[in-house]
């Protein structure tokens, strides 16, 4: 588009300088805090962080919930997205509208709604007790189950939308052709749909996993201090203990986890491609 590269770079310069000054530099300063101990550069703070049993629990819980939410949203996402792309255009538009709608509602409102639904006197417990599945209401609030449900509902639309756009780009005849040639639905999914939509899965998976790791409101409200996640622990370290060193370590861990998840998903996608 541009006659010379220098011109293009010059146009990008203000944005680059702005992002570097107000984003990159402060983030680097903040993250460097975690590598300093008693005035010298060291990995000691990281060692101390992971030596603490509470931090270990919180780290594994965050990783586990993030992975579970991503996996389950991929399963539900594929089924929903496939059902939606096979609809006629008008109905498809309406269904996509329904998927997007929760994204337009504040996460705080959505999460509080779960408190009402999952509470002792809430909808879910009324059904459980009504059906005689349990004599007394089951405690969901402030458990990992509640956080899982909240996160899944929060990020599922992102997975569905990524998969819809991937499925729409898939050749229309691919699935009927595979079926005609005798593939069952499982084979169709593994050998046709999955390879052709892996980009969408990588994007959706990264969005959902990163979102689950860094969500604050949902774990804070539905899990509270009984189900601490890395993000809620970070907030606690800063606001309660004014401990920016631990906070910067947690921030670094979250960044590394997000990038690793993205790389891992991309690697899985290309590995399948080569086969």
Contact residues: another protein, CB under 8 A:
52-54, 57-58, 115-116, 119-122, 139, 141-142, 224-228, 236, 238-242
Token digits of residue 14? 């203000």
Distance CA(234)–CA(57), nearest Å, equals 14
CA angle 12, 13, 16 (to 5 degrees): 90
Closer to another protein at the Cβ: 178 or 227?
227
CB of 56 to another protein, least distance (A): 11
CB of 123 to another protein, least distance (A): 12
Q: Are 249 and 55 in contact (CB under 8 A)?
A: no
CB of 65 to another protein, least distance (A): 14
Closer to another protein at the Cβ: 122 or 205?
122
Closer to another protein at the Cβ: 92 or 110?
110
Closer to another protein at the Cβ: 3 or 121?
121
CB of 142 to another protein, least distance (A): 4
Closer to another protein at the Cβ: 222 or 261?
222
CB of 272 to another protein, least distance (A): 39
């Amino acid at each position: 588009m541009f006659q010379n590269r220098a011109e293009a770079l010059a146009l990008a310069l203000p944005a680059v300088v702005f992002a570097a000054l107000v984003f990159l530099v402060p983030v680097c300063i903040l993250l460097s805090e975690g590598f300093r101990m008693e005035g010298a550069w060291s990995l000691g703070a990281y060692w101390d962080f992971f030596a603490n049993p509470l931090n270990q629990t919180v780290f594994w819980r965050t990783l586990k919930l993030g992975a579970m939410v991503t996996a389950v949203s991929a399963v539900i996402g594929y089924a929903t997205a496939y059902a939606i792309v096979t609809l006629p255009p008008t109905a498809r538009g309406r269904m996509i509208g329904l998927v997007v709608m929760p994204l337009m509602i504040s996460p705080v409102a959505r999460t509080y709604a779960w408190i009402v639904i999952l509470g002792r006197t809430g909808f879910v417990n009324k059904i459980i007790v009504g059906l005689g599945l349990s004599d007394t209401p089951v405690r969901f609030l402030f458990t990992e189950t509640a956080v899982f449900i909240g996160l899944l509902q929060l990020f599922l639309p992102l997975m569905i939308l990524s998969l819809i756009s991937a499925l729409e780009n898939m050749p229309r005849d691919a699935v009927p052709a595979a079926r005609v040639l005798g593939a069952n639905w499982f084979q169709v999914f593994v050998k046709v749909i999955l390879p052709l939509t892996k980009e969408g899965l990588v994007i959706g998976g990264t969005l959902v996993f990163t979102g689950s790791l860094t969500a604050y409101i949902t774990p804070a409200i539905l899990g509270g201090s009984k189900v601490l996640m890395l993000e809620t622990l970070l907030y606690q370290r800063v606001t309660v203990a004014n401990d920016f060193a631990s906070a910067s370590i947690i921030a670094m861990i979250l960044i590394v986890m997000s990038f690793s998840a993205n790389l891992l998903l991309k690697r899985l996608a290309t590995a399948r491609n080569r086969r």
